[in-house]
Amino acid sequence: MNNMDLLVSLSKRRGFVFQSSEIYGGTGSCWDYGPLGVELKNNIKRVWWRDFVQARADMVGIDASILMHPTVWKASGHLDHFTDPMVDCRECKHRFRADHLDALAWVHYCPATKGNKFTIPAGEPCGHCGQRRTLCPNCGKGELTPPRQFNLMFKTFMGPVEEEAALTYLRPETAQAMFVNFDNVLQSMRLKLPFGIAQAGRSFRNEITPGNFIFRTREFEQMEIEYFVNPNDRVEGRPADEYWHDRWIEDCLAWFRRYGLREENLRLREHERDELAHYAKRTVDIEYNFPIGWSELMGIANRTDFDLKQHAKWSGKSLTYFDEDRKEHVVPYVVEPAAGVDRALLAFMADAYREEEVRGEKRVLLRLHPELAPVKVAVLPLLKKRDDIVRAAQAVRADLAKHWRVVYDDTAAIGRLYRRQDEVGTPYCVTVDVQTVGDGERGETGDGRVTIRERDSMEQIRVLVAELAGVFRELLAGAAWPSVAGRYPPARG
Q: What is the 3-state secondary structure (H, E, C) of 122-162?
A: CCCCCCCCCCCCCCCCCCCCCCECCCEEEECCCEEECCCCC
Q: Contact between 29 and Zn ion (CB under 5 A)?
A: no
What's the N-to-C CA distance of the chain in angstroms?
Answer: 33
* Cα–Cα separations (whole angstroms), residue 478 to 107, 394, 418, 453: 53, 26, 22, 16
3-state class (DSSP) for residue 257: helix
CB of 115 to Zn ion, least distance (A): 10
45: left (phi over 0), alpha (psi -120 to 50) or beta: alpha
Among 15-23, 109-117, 392-400, 473-481, the segment contacting Zn ion (CB under 5 A): 109-117
Q: Contact between 437 and Zn ion (CB under 5 A)?
A: no
Strands 155-157 and 167-169: antiparallel
Task: Report yes or no: 463 and 488 within 8 Å, Cβ to Cβ.
Answer: yes
Among 126, 240, 365, 378, which residue sits at the site for Zn ion (rule: CB under 5 A)?
126
Measured from the CB atom, the residue of 136 and 393 that comes closer to Zn ion is 136
d(CA 191, CA 322): 11
Q: Contact between 91 and Zn ion (CB under 5 A)?
A: yes
Phi then psi dihedrals of residue 195, to 5 deg: -150, 160
Residue 490, C-beta contacts closer than 8 angstroms, at least 6 positions apart: 459, 460, 461, 462
Measured from the CB atom, the residue of 125 and 490 that comes closer to Zn ion is 125
* Cα–Cα separations (whole angstroms), residue 206 to 28, 153, 169, 209, 325: 11, 6, 11, 9, 46
CB of 111 to Zn ion, least distance (A): 6
Q: Contact between 191 and Zn ion (CB under 5 A)?
A: no
Measured from the CB atom, the residue of 79 and 92 that comes closer to Zn ion is 92
Measured from the CB atom, the residue of 66 and 104 that comes closer to Zn ion is 104
Residue 119, C-beta contacts closer than 8 angstroms, at least 6 positions apart: 105, 106, 107, 108
Q: Contact between 128 and Zn ion (CB under 5 A)?
A: yes
Q: Contact between 309 and Zn ion (CB under 5 A)?
A: no
Among 129, 167, 254, 395, which residue sits at the site for Zn ion (rule: CB under 5 A)?
129
Q: Contact between 92 and Zn ion (CB under 5 A)?
A: yes
Among 5-13, 130-138, 155-163, 483-491, the segment contacting Zn ion (CB under 5 A): 130-138
Measured from the CB atom, the residue of 65 and 134 that comes closer to Zn ion is 134
Q: Contact between 90 and Zn ion (CB under 5 A)?
A: no
CB of 113 to Zn ion, least distance (A): 7
What's the helix, strand, coil split of the chain in %, to 5? 35, 30, 35
CB of 25 to Zn ion, least distance (A): 22
Q: Residue 383: is it exposed, middle or buried by C-beta count within 10 angstroms (0-12/13-18/19+)? A: middle
Q: What letter does residue 113 receive in the DSSP assignment? A: G
Query: Which x/- pattern, by CB under 5 A, does the window 30-69 give for Zn ion?
Result: ----------------------------------------
Measured from the CB atom, the residue of 128 and 419 that comes closer to Zn ion is 128
Among 11, 43, 76, 138, which residue sits at the site for Zn ion (rule: CB under 5 A)?
138
| Size, binding site for Zn ion by CB under 5 A | 12
How many Å is the maximal CA-CA distance in the chain? 89
Among 66, 79, 104, 139, which residue sits at the site for Zn ion (rule: CB under 5 A)?
139
Q: Residue 330: is it exposed, middle or buried by C-beta count within 10 angstroms (0-12/13-18/19+)? A: middle
CB of 106 to Zn ion, least distance (A): 10
Of 201, 199, 197, nearest to 184 by C-alpha is 197
Residue 353's DSSP bridge partners are 366
CB of 141 to Zn ion, least distance (A): 6
Measured from the CB atom, the residue of 91 and 246 that comes closer to Zn ion is 91
CB of 95 to Zn ion, least distance (A): 10
DSSP assignment string, 435-471: HHHEEGGGTEEP--EEEEEETTT--EEEEEGGGHHHH
CB of 398 to Zn ion, least distance (A): 60
Among 54-62, 141-149, 362-370, 402-410, the segment contacting Zn ion (CB under 5 A): 141-149
CB of 114 to Zn ion, least distance (A): 11
Measured from the CB atom, the residue of 91 and 467 that comes closer to Zn ion is 91
Q: Contact between 142 and Zn ion (CB under 5 A)?
A: yes
Binding site for Zn ion (CB under 5 A): 89, 91-92, 94, 110, 126, 128-129, 136, 138-139, 142
